[in-house]
Structures are given as C-alpha cells and as structure tokens.
Amino acid sequence: MTPELQQKCINTIRFLAIDAVEKANSGHPGMPMGCAPAAFVLWSRHLRFNPREPRWPNRDRFILSAGHGSMLIYAMLHLAGYDVTMDDLKAFRQYKSKTPGHPEFHDTPGVEATTGPLGQGISNAVGFALSQKMLKAQTGAPIDNFIYGICSDGDLMEGVASEACSLAGHLKLGNLIFIYDDNLVSLAGHTDVTFTEDRNERFEAYGWHVQSVADGNDVEAIDKAVIEAKRDPRPSLISLRTVLGYGSPHKANTHDAHGSPLGKDETIATKKNLGWPLEPAFLVPDDVRQFWAGRIEEVKKGYDEWQKKFAQWQRDNPKKAELWNTLVEKRTPGDLAEQLASAVKLDAPEATRKHGQAVLQKAAQLVPAIVGGSADLDPSTFTYIKDGADVGPENYGGRNIHFGVREHGMGSIVNGFAYDGFFVPYSATFLLFSDYMRPPMRLAAISRLQSIFVFTHDSIFLGEDGPTHQPIEQLACIRAVPNMELWRPADGLETAASWAAALERKDGPSAFAFTRQKLQPLQRSGKADVRECLKGAYALNDVADPDVVVIATGSEVALAQAALPLIDKKYEVRLVSMPCVERFLKWSGDEQRKLVPHGKARLVAVEAAGGLDWYRIVGDGLVIGIDRFGASAPEKALADAYDLTPPKVAGRISKWLNEGARANTKE
Amino acid sequence: MTPELQQKCINTIRFLAIDAVEKANSGHPGMPMGCAPAAFVLWSRHLRFNPREPRWPNRDRFILSAGHGSMLIYAMLHLAGYDVTMDDLKAFRQYKSKTPGHPEFHDTPGVEATTGPLGQGISNAVGFALSQKMLKAQTGAPIDNFIYGICSDGDLMEGVASEACSLAGHLKLGNLIFIYDDNLVSLAGHTDVTFTEDRNERFEAYGWHVQSVADGNDVEAIDKAVIEAKRDPRPSLISLRTVLGYGSPHKANTHDAHGSPLGKDETIATKKNLGWPLEPAFLVPDDVRQFWAGRIEEVKKGYDEWQKKFAQWQRDNPKKAELWNTLVEKRTPGDLAEQLASAVKLDAPEATRKHGQAVLQKAAQLVPAIVGGSADLDPSTFTYIKDGADVGPENYGGRNIHFGVREHGMGSIVNGFAYDGFFVPYSATFLLFSDYMRPPMRLAAISRLQSIFVFTHDSIFLGEDGPTHQPIEQLACIRAVPNMELWRPADGLETAASWAAALERKDGPSAFAFTRQKLQPLQRSGKADVRECLKGAYALNDVADPDVVVIATGSEVALAQAALPLIDKKYEVRLVSMPCVERFLKWSGDEQRKLVPHGKARLVAVEAAGGLDWYRIVGDGLVIGIDRFGASAPEKALADAYDLTPPKVAGRISKWLNEGARANTKE
C-alpha cells in the first residue's frame, strides 16, 4: 500500500465523521479526526473479524470507550463491510437509525457494547477480556483473540476505570489492549486544568504494560506498539499523543472541536487543508473501497481457518464442545425453578441471603454458565460457589471472581461478561451499595443484558451498621429503571423463584434484595408452589371477596402475616406477597384486578423502605414504609422505633380503614 | 512519657474498642487494634484541637475514612476530653446513642464527617483541605491547620478515592495527610486475592508525597513520617503496615477480626497476651487519664494563642474579618429571591440552564460563600462564575473549581466543603450522571449538608446524545432520597427561586434539574412572583373550582399550558406548576387540598420522566410520563415519538377524563 493511499484511507475516516456530524448538526468530530490513524492501524493490520458474522466467537473485540466519538466506529464498520450502509451514516443521530449519537449494543452490527457514559467501555472491556480467558480455560477451545479499545481522558478520570483497570492488572489480562487518546483536551478545556497525574505511571502501578507513542499520525509507531502489546503478558495501555480535531485549521487542539460540528466554513477549510475534495460529502474514494475489499478478503481467510480448527476441536473434544454449546445457549433445565426450590427449607426461620446461598449452589450445578462474585463481601452476601475454584491471575478456570471493594467496576465488568455472551454473570454487595453501581445497572437494562445483581442487607433491619448502610430509597430506585426486574423474596421458595427467573430471563438484568436477618416461615393456604412465586405476585391466604388487600414484599410479608389477626375483625383481609413488582405490572389489567381488586377493595402496601413507588400499585391506598433515614441499633429496637412491629402495623391499618381518609395527603 | 505508659495509652484504645464491640455484640474491633498506635501518635503529638470547642476554625481535622473502625475515633474523642462519656462508649451501636455503628456527623462532637461507605471520608477530606486553602487565600486569616485521616484498603480500592486523590495531587493540597492502614486483610480475605497494585506508586503518579512505615507499632517511625508529611508541600500518604486485630492470639491478621466481636474467650486471650487486666471492661488506667489531662492542657494553650492571633488579625483586617463572618454565617440578603429574579428575563424562549447561568452570576455577587464547578462541563452546564478566578494548584483565591470528569469525587469533595462550613459549594454535571454520584448526594442528605447539586440536560429533550445520556428515572431517584429537595424550574422565575431556596436552606442538600433546550415563556394569570415559586407549587391560571388539576414541572409546564386549550372544553382545568415536590409535601393537608383538591377534582401529572413517583401526588389519577428509555434523535422527533406534544397530551387527558378509568392499571 502506498503512503498516499494510506493517508487517503485515514482521511476517509476523518471526513466521514466530519460530514456526518455536519449533516446531523450534532455530534463529536474532534475525536475521530485525531484517532483515525490509530483506528486505521487496528482495523487494517490487527483486528480479526468477519463483517458477515459480527458475533464470531474468536473475533477480536473493539470497544470504543470514548463513545462520543461514535462516528469513528460507524465509519470503520461501514468501510470494513458490516451492515452499516452509506444511508445509515447519513442518518447519524436520527430516530431509529443504526447510527445513534452514542454506540448502542443491539442497534448496530459490530458494536460490542453501549458506550458514552465515560469509564464504562474500558471497564466492560475488562469483563470481555476475563470472559474470554475463562472461556478458554474452561473449555480449552482454540480462543486466541484480543480485546482492543480506544479510551479518552474522561474515561481515565472516572473512578470506575480505576477500579476495573486495577483488577485487570491484578488478573494479568494480557488479551486486553487499549489505546489512550491522549489529546490533552477535554470538553471544558485543556486537561492541564485538572488532569496532571502521570497516567502512565498510574497504569504501571496497576501492573499494566505501558507504552507511549509521541505522534498520533505515526502509523508505523502505532503498529509497532500494538505488536508489542500483543506480545506482553500484561494488559496494555498505549498512550497516544493525538491532536483533537486534527486537520482543522482553526479548531484543532481546542475544545471547540470536541462536541459540536465544525461548521460549514471550517469543514471546507479542513478539506482544503488536508487536500480533500470539497464535494461530494461522505466521499469514499474508489481505491479506498478497493483496499477495504482486500482487507475483508484477508480477514475472511483467518475466519475460515479458525472455523476449521474449531470444528476439529469440537470433534476431538465432544464433552468440552458440549460445554461450549451449553455456555453459548445459556441452557437451563425445564424444571429449573422446582430444582432450585428443592435446595431450600421452608420450615425454620432463615435469612433470605442464606436461602440465596443454598439456591446459588444448586443453580451453579445446573447452569455451568454462572460465574460471579462479590465486592469483598462473600462472608456476608453468601455468594461464593463452593464447587467452583477462585479466579486468579493466570488461573482462569474458576467461577468465583474476587472483585475487591470496587462495586462500580464490578457492575461494569459483569456487564462485559453479559455482552460477551458466554457466561451468566452475577455481582454481589449490600443493597445500599447499589448506589455505587447505578451506571452499569442502568446500562445493563438499556442493553438488555443478562446481568444479575445480588444485594443483601436489604433494609434497616440489618441493624447496628446504621443509616449509611441501611437502604431506604434503594428499592424504589432500582424499580425505577426501565427493563430491570427486582426480586425481594420473602422466604426460600421465593428466593428459588428469584434465581430461576433471573436465569431464564435473557433480555434484561435482574436484581435481588435479600435480608441479613432471619425471617419467620410463611403460612400458605395453598401448597408451596414455586411457579406461583415466579408470577411475581400471589395471595398467601384464601379470601374470596376481600375488603382489604395488604401487599408486602420480603421481610414484611411475615410481618404482615403476623399483623393480620390483629387487624380490626370486621374486615376481610387478603395478604398478597409481591416479590417482583415488575412482573405484576406486566399482567393484563383483568389479571391484576383479580388479585388486587382496585376500586372494590382498599389497598395497603407494607415495605420497610421509602415507599414512594408503591402508590402506583395502591393509588389512593395506604403505604406503610419509612420516610426518613435509618439508625444504628439492634433490629428489634428499630422495628419498634420505625413502627414496624405486628401490633403497630395492624393498628395503623385498622385506624386508616376506620377513618376512611386518603393516606398520602396529610390530615 | 515512659515507654510503659505509652504502651498503656495505646492498649487503652485497643481495649476500649474490643470491650465496646463485645458489649454491643456487633462491630469492627480489628481496625482499632491495628491502628491504635497511629491514632495515639496523631492525637498525642500532632493534632491541635479543643475538646470544648469542636468546631474551632483552626483545629486540625481528623477524618476516619475507614468508618467501620468507629470505636477508634470514639475512644480517642473520649480520652481527649470531648463530650463522649464512658456511658456513651458503653452505648455503642444502640438507638440514639452518641456512638452509632459508623461515625455520624451531628451525632458526636468531634466527628467531622459521616463515614462508613468506603472511599467517602478520604474524598471528603480533599474537600476539607481545599476549603481551608481557599479560606486562607480568600480571607488571609491565620489558618495553618492540617487535615488528617486514616483510610483502609477498601477506601483505596473505591474509584471515588481515585478521583478525589488525583485532584488533590493536581491541586497540591499539602495540608492533607492520610495514614493508609495497610493491613493486607479485607472483609473477605487477604488483599492479595484482588488488590496487588502498587499503591505507593499509584499515589506518586497522582503527585502525592508517599512514605512507608514498616511497623504499625513503631511510634517513633510514625511520628517521623507525620513530621515529614507536614513539611512536604504535596498531599501525603503514609503507608503503614499494620496488623488487623493486633494482639489477638488467634484472630490477628485474619478477616475474622474485621467485622465481628472477638468473642469472650478471645477477648480474655487478647488481654492476657497484651498484659491487660481482665476486669473491669472499659478500663482507662489512672495514669492514662492523667496523660490525656496534660495533653488537653497543652492543646488548650495552642488554642488560646491562636484566638489571640485571630483577634489581632480581625482588628488589623476589618474588611477581611467581615468577609470571614459572612462566610461563617453564610449570610444571604433578605430579598435574595427578588434580587435573583431580577437577573432573568421572562419574555423570550430560553433554556433553564441559561437562566441558571444568569442567576448564578447574581447569586455569586450576593453570597460570597458560593464556590463550585463542574465535572468538565462548564460550557454545557453554564455554571462558571464569571467574576471569580479559577482555583488551581497554589492558587486558591478563585471560586471556580475544575473537578474533571470525576462526578463521584466531585460530589464527595463538595460535601467536604459543606462539612467544613465556610463555603456553600455546588457541583454541576448532566442529570444522567447523577447516577455516578448517588453516594455523596445521599450522604449530604443524611448529614444535613448545604451541598448544591446542579444538573442540566434533564430529559430526553436533550436530543441526539441518546438513551445513555437521557434521564428517565433520575428525577424519581433523587426525590426518593429523604431530606433532599429537588427543584425542576419551568422558567427564569422558578430558576431564581431554586437557587434562592438552596442558598437559604442550611439543613440539607438541594438539587436542580435544568433543561438543555429552550422553553416557551409561561403565561401567569397573576403577577410573576418569585415568592409563589419558592413555595414549591402554585397555580398558573385562575380556576376557582376545577374539574381537573394538571400538575407539571420544568419543561412540561409550558407543554401543559399549550395543551390546556386543546383539552375537552367541558372540563375546567387548573394548571399547577410544582417545581419542588418536597416543598409541597411539607404543606399542611388543608393547604395541599386547596391547591390540589384530591377527591374533588381529578388529578393529572405531566413530566418527561419515569413518573412512578407521581402517584403519591395524584393517587388514582393519570401520570403522563415515559415508561421506557430514550432515543437518539432531534428534540422534535422525540416529542412526537414519546407522545409529548400539546395535541397528544391534551388528547390523552381528554380520553382519560371521558373514560373515567383508573390510570395506573391496564385496561
């Protein structure tokens, strides 16, 4: 390839980005302009891919952590033959296009992960890298791919990246290679106003292999660094000194090139400056097209060879190949819920975190794809898979990942596993610390990932650790996330249902809220049927025509059951356990009204939490919750102080029924 | 002081912690046992304090970032003469005691910050350190204190600490000195399973002065390191190799000593091992008492000297002294709201983020205590104080802080300022990224801090950046936090009210949700009165006896106003703007029903957000919101796709009114 053609290939990327942002009148041209040479090197010399099979297992992954530079990846996918057409590029940032403002998993073939919120992509990539290491260790399949990516200053300032990259260094994830777009400019100005740490030294401290390339346009130097990175057994960071908005005479190296179109005049000036035809926009010169046609042929050969190798491996290793298929399909047995239910006891007081422990052991036997761990809380969350080994550096055959006290990184790494699609990953920590990992929980919901977020210590009843550890608003805040299912089980049966539901749900994340404290066994009028629990809501007692329906979840179901006999006898009361509100909300209106006869019966919700989300269920009914922060005290003292004992709950319900007032306005 | 007495002093701390945890049957003895010598060195040789005046401005601050080791600080406060009695120690972790499970600001004199959620204390400390640097630079007062603290492995694993410490290094906060309790053990096991990064090198990369002390019991070596740290102009980390649970024959250096009582037998064994009397528990030997009495006298002298110096400074610098008082009292003029309102125009379309910019400039003139900045988004959040300079390393006289892309660290640093009490600090970022800073927002609410959290780009109408940047559940999730006030203003007047309310609110945090897009001016039937807005809710039109009340916030007020004439004419409709739901909920029931006549009129809420929090206002009424994620598209395309145009909103309201169905169950 001539230097001229190479330069043309690079400038094609730049001007596709510039023209698309210009047409949309919205977007980020500067990053693709600076990083075009790096992207060109990766895609033309290193990345192994097949545009016709974007999910080929042994492909190299490419993750654009600096997701605002989305036109870079759209341009590359277009040139590399993915199903991203010129019309798609022209529809950049338009409703329902394949080229949304930030890369979205599901929207675009070749986009491995939804990125944009800074720090997430590089942290997902750690999950991808570990997923591939574990896939190889567990199956022995011929996996030898790399996880590449480009990250920005903003990515590296975010704490989540610090957490995930520290763990990547610990785990010696040599298959992870990131180019750091060190352009010295961020949205608000030059990085010297706030980001003067020695990034290279920091990544060396994490145990990474770090190289610097002084000129972001030096194709050979970038290539050499990537070759070195592939050789080194550590994760690699290549600090690449680029120029934001390279080629723009007036906006290069200023934050004006970051998040706005160059504008008509500056686009013309930039085209002149780089010797590019002013017309047409969205130009891909013929020889550039030809070059990519050749590259696509070339990578296709690698793909075909691997397919042969893989087929051979499957024939030679039928058992391992069977495991591979099990992982890919994330198979679960048809009677999963029943089998999980068989792991728990229902006749003695127990904490749901302990039920969770029993269920997880069984689930891990039945579903080999399950892997996960906690943020340094195994002895409290009880989420260790006893039959599985520990995952450690150069020891990827285990199933238990020690995330450290890194909740945010944990969530993003778990999402990386889920994107990659070979494992069903779970994280675990205290419910309060879901606050530390909101961004990945939301991204799992946006990207419809099968990520499982286990939380224990789910209410003030955790006791003495006090308000900083006691959830109040967390249940509502998790339920508020679209496409998230939150399970708050009341006993072992519902705990089994929670895990079964999460394992069977392939198109979105699930979260569990388990108790620290022991719960009294429930009395069920019917038989204990895990399928009932799976519906998300069901009646515990048999009341055909209730005056009142009391709905409770988790620890408050037993509380409500104890309160029931103390409620004014003139009312017929149905008790509903609702371990998963989201499932109930998916029922038809008729089904909903059959269980919760709104308008006919009066409605009460009981949950040891903030409660503002319960009005959507009970409407003008009564919500018994907690409207302030918790306190450090033993469980029983708290039950009394927060009016959550059976007599107090019964008293509040009776009073409200007898007064007939609306609950949620003051008297 | 004899070596024997010194050892006795140190062991007193250890056994106060052991005995208190034992009595509570809950808590973390291991950390105080390991860190007792370090705490002893700090309090007996370095810390300048006055137990009778815990808020003395020039005191050295001590922040226990490893808040689970709370008995360490309670023991020190008790010994150092603070109002923490022996009875208080014996009430450790009991309801309403002065000694809750984790240190709580307000609960205990001498506790500078609520800690426990890991990473927060050290990040708050960065705020304290910057606050004191800025106080000194702005007033010239004789401030020469240090911010000390102890942090744990867990603190340093958390991303928030990475963010804050990187910024502390950049800002050269030489008044910040942290001892890192490097005990190699975390809750779930030894740190070598997950935390093998080179912590010292990492902190050197941040620009910190790093020292190692090999023996956590070596009092002289610790002392020498602290002396060096005070001399160095950079923030200091002292990596102290301690033994978790030091002195316990069977549990030292195991995670069993972390979060559970030692147990009766091991307590006895530990007392024997360290030569401590088995009885009585909670022993403070007489000579130890005597030592502390002497130390209290000693620090009192330093206090008295400083008071003289300060009084002299006040006399010599009356103007600066006046500024000092203004800062301490956080004075606001009586007509603050009116003055802020005078800064905005109401007659042309404008974005509330732009109104916010105008209001902030005025507010910064009127209230010198205001300081703050954004997470690298000034050009988008419009939160730069034009009259104020930039805060930079060795340049602390400014008012604009560049936090970098570090939302979580930003929130925790802002809280540090608020704890310290001299400034009214604000942060700024996009509303979506409130997800990155939930923990400090919650802690501000728990600790009743005057932290102000500015958010812009508050709905899907930010447009092309797409679902990863478009808030859906964030409004509900912020409103769900007890003691938080969220303002979502609909125009300039309400924006002025938002800032006025936040500046006048001294006992809790406020958050703002401002639009990216321009809003149409509101039509008010009465005069434009900022005091009306301050109430949190008011009627825009004059309808004495409405059939329907439509409640809206922010951008949806103008939308609802445009929809009003299109609603079925047979209904009389009152339009209520409710910029602050929390304020409305504090009204008496009668007041509430006067504006929102529940039971008499039918209720509708309109907000371009998830909406699950609105049922507590409208009960069985209709909530017009968004029940899925956003999409990348121009604003107008989104309004149409999400049914949030005036005709569509009017159509939905009319249909619902005419059908008479309950809104929040399916048909």
CA distance B196 to chain A (A): 6
Looking up tokens 């990053």, which residue turns up? A31
- Quick one: average pLDDT of A531-557? 97
**DSSP strand pairing (B602-606 vs B622-624):** parallel
Q: In what order do the strands lie in the sheet with A538-539?
A: A538-539, A573-577, A548-552, A602-606, A622-624
Q: Is B496 on the interface with A (CB under 8 A)?
A: no
CA distance A198 to A119: 18
- Quick one: average pLDDT of A24-28? 96
A21: closest chain B residue by CA: B464
Q: Which pLDDT score is estimated for A5?
A: 98
CA distance A311 to chain B (A): 37
Find chain A residues with C-beta within 8 A of B592's C-beta. Answer: 665-666
User: Crossing angle of helices B492-504/B352-366, nearest 10°?
Assistant: 40
Q: Which pLDDT score is estimated for A113?
A: 98
Q: In what order do the strands lie in the sheet with B370-374?
A: B370-374, B424-430, B452-456, B510-513, B485-487
Q: In what order do the strands lie in the sheet with B61-64?
A: B61-64, B147-152, B176-182, B236-241, B209-213
Establish whether A407 is a catalytic residue: yes
A189-193, B553-557, B609-613: which range is least confident on average?
Answer: A189-193
A68: closest chain B residue by CA: B465
Q: Is A118 on the interface with B (CB under 8 A)?
A: yes
Asked whether residue A526 carries a pLDDT value surpassing 90, the answer given is: no
The beta-carbon neighbor of B93 closest among A432, A620, A632 is A632
Model's pTM, two decimal places? Answer: 0.98
Asked whether residue A663 carries a pLDDT value surpassing 80, the answer given is: no
The beta-carbon neighbor of A158 closest among B405, B442, B465 is B405
Q: Which amino acid makes up residue A130?
A: L
Looking up tokens 């800062």, which residue turns up? B327
Q: Which of B438, B468, B587, B642 to mutate to test the interface with A (most CBs of A within 10 A)?
A: B468
Looking up tokens 């540090």, which residue turns up? B416
Name the DSSP letter for residue B602. E
Q: For chains A and B, count residue pairs whose Cβ atoms are closer than 8 Å.
A: 379
Find chain A residues with C-beta within 8 A of B428's C-beta. Answer: none
A626: closest chain B residue by CA: B482
- Quick one: average pLDDT of B66-91? 98
CA distance B634 to chain A (A): 7
Tens-place pLDDT, residues B242-252? 999 999 999 99
Q: Which pLDDT score is estimated for B541?
A: 96
Q: What's the number of CA atoms in the CB half-sphere (13 Å) around residue B525?
A: 12
B640: closest chain A residue by CA: A95
User: Crossing angle of helices B438-446/B120-139, nearest 10°?
Assistant: 70
CA distance A318 to chain B (A): 34
Tens-place pLDDT, residues B166-203? 999 999 999 999 999 999 988 878 889 999 999 999 99
CA distance B332 to B45: 40
Q: Which pLDDT score is estimated for B667?
A: 41
| Contact: B205, A197; criterion CB under 8 Å | yes
- Quick one: average pLDDT of A370-380? 97
| Contact: B104, A632; criterion CB under 8 Å | yes
CA-CA distances (angstroms) from residue B265 to A202, A530, B19, B251? 45, 44, 12, 11
Tens-place pLDDT, residues A441-483? 999 999 999 999 999 999 999 999 999 999 999 999 999 999 9
| Contact: B197, A169; criterion CB under 8 Å | yes
The beta-carbon neighbor of B117 closest among A189, A468, A598 is A468
Query: Which residues of A, range 268-327, sit inside 8 Å of B by Cβ?
Result: none
- Quick one: average pLDDT of A196-203? 97
The beta-carbon neighbor of A379 closest among B154, B188, B196 is B188
pLDDT level of residue A662 (50, 70, 90 thresholds): low
- Quick one: average pLDDT of A514-543? 96
CA distance A294 to A299: 9
Q: In what order do the strands lie in the sheet with B573-577?
A: B538-539, B573-577, B548-552, B602-606, B622-624
CA-CA distances (angstroms) from residue B174 to A154, B46, B120, B162, B210? 26, 16, 19, 17, 12
List residues bridging with A429 in a β-sheet. A455
Q: Which of B71, B31, B433 is nearest to B245 (CA)?
A: B31
| Contact: B153, A466; criterion CB under 8 Å | no
Which among B158, B266, B407, B556 is annotated as catalytic? B407
CB B605 within 8 A of CB B611: yes
Asked whether residue B661 carries a pLDDT value surpassing 70, the answer given is: no
Element (H, E) at B438: helix B438-446
What secondary structure, in 3-state letters, does B326-367 show?
A: HHHHCCCCCCHHHHHHCCCCCCCCEEHHHHHHHHHHHHHHHC
Query: Which residues of B, range 328-387, sit inside 8 Å of A by Cβ?
Result: 374, 376-380
Percent of chain B with pLDDT over 70: 99
Q: Distance of alpha carbon B1 from its chain centroid, rounded?
A: 41
Query: Which residues of B, range 602-621, sit inside 8 Å of A by Cβ?
Result: 610, 612-613, 615-617, 619-620
DSSP-derived 3-state class of residue B626: coil
Name the DSSP letter for residue B523. P
CA distance A247 to A205: 35
Q: Is A185 on the interface with B (CB under 8 A)?
A: no
pLDDT level of residue A394 (50, 70, 90 thresholds): confident
Q: Which of A66, A71, A324 is nearest to A183 (CA)?
A: A66
Q: Which of A460, A473, A618, A638 to mutate to test the interface with B (most CBs of B within 10 A)?
A: A473
The whole-chain average pLDDT of chain B stands at 96
Looking up tokens 């994107």, which residue turns up? A419
Which among A407, A485, A556, A582 is annotated as catalytic? A407
Q: How far apart are the first and last CA of chain A?
A: 81
pLDDT level of residue A88 (50, 70, 90 thresholds): very high
Two structure tokens written together for B655: 């249909």
CB B47 within 8 A of CB B302: no
| Contact: A464, B96; criterion CB under 8 Å | no
Two structure tokens written together for A249: 């005479």
pLDDT level of residue A667 (50, 70, 90 thresholds): very low
| Contact: B479, A612; criterion CB under 8 Å | yes
Asked whether residue B508 carries a pLDDT value surpassing 60, the answer given is: yes
CB A194 within 8 A of CB B165: no
The beta-carbon neighbor of B435 closest among A163, A376, A439 is A439
List residues bridging with A178 in a β-sheet. A149, A237
Q: Which of B636, B618, B634, B614 is nearest to B626 (CA)?
A: B614
- Quick one: average pLDDT of A144-169? 98
CB B621 within 8 A of CB B605: yes
Tens-place pLDDT, residues B386-434? 999 999 998 999 999 999 999 999 999 999 999 999 999 999 999 999 9
Q: Which amino acid makes up residue B638?
A: L
Dihedral, A225, A422, A163, A221 alpha carbons, nearest 10: 10
B256: closest chain A residue by CA: A379
CA distance B323 to chain A (A): 28
Q: Distance of alpha carbon B550 from its chain centroid, rounded?
A: 34
CA distance B458 to B577: 17
Query: Which residues of A, range 563-592, sit inside 8 Å of B by Cβ?
Result: 587-589, 592
Find chain A residues with C-beta within 8 A of B126's C-beta. Answer: none
Find chain A residues with C-beta within 8 A of B27's C-beta. Answer: 464
The beta-carbon neighbor of A632 closest among B100, B169, B438 is B100
Element (H, E) at A577: strand A573-577
CA distance A390 to A395: 8
- Quick one: average pLDDT of B309-314? 98
Q: Which pLDDT score is estimated for B662?
A: 57
CA distance A197 to A414: 28
| Number of Cβ atoms within 10 Å of the Cβ of B349 | 11
Q: Which pLDDT score is estimated for A166?
A: 98
CB burial string B254-271: b at 16+ within 10 A, e below: ebbbbbbbbeeebbebbb
CA distance B124 to B130: 10
User: Crossing angle of helices A3-24/A70-79, nearest 10°?
Assistant: 130
Name the DSSP letter for residue A624. E
CA distance A182 to A199: 10
Find chain B residues with C-beta within 8 A of A96's C-beta. Answer: 631, 633
CB burial string B390-425: b at 16+ within 10 A, e below: bbbeeebebbbbbbbbbbbbbbbbbbbbbbbbbbbb
A170: closest chain B residue by CA: B196
Q: Is B192 on the interface with A (CB under 8 A)?
A: no
The beta-carbon neighbor of B194 closest among A186, A404, A620 is A404
Find chain A residues with C-beta within 8 A of B477's C-beta. Answer: 438, 473, 476-477, 480
Q: Which pLDDT score is estimated for A331?
A: 86
The values of phi and psi at residue B210, to 5°, are -120, 130
Q: Which of A157, A260, A507, A623 to mutate to test the interface with B (most CBs of B within 10 A)?
A: A157
| Number of Cβ atoms within 10 Å of the Cβ of B559 | 25
Q: Which pLDDT score is estimated for B665?
A: 45
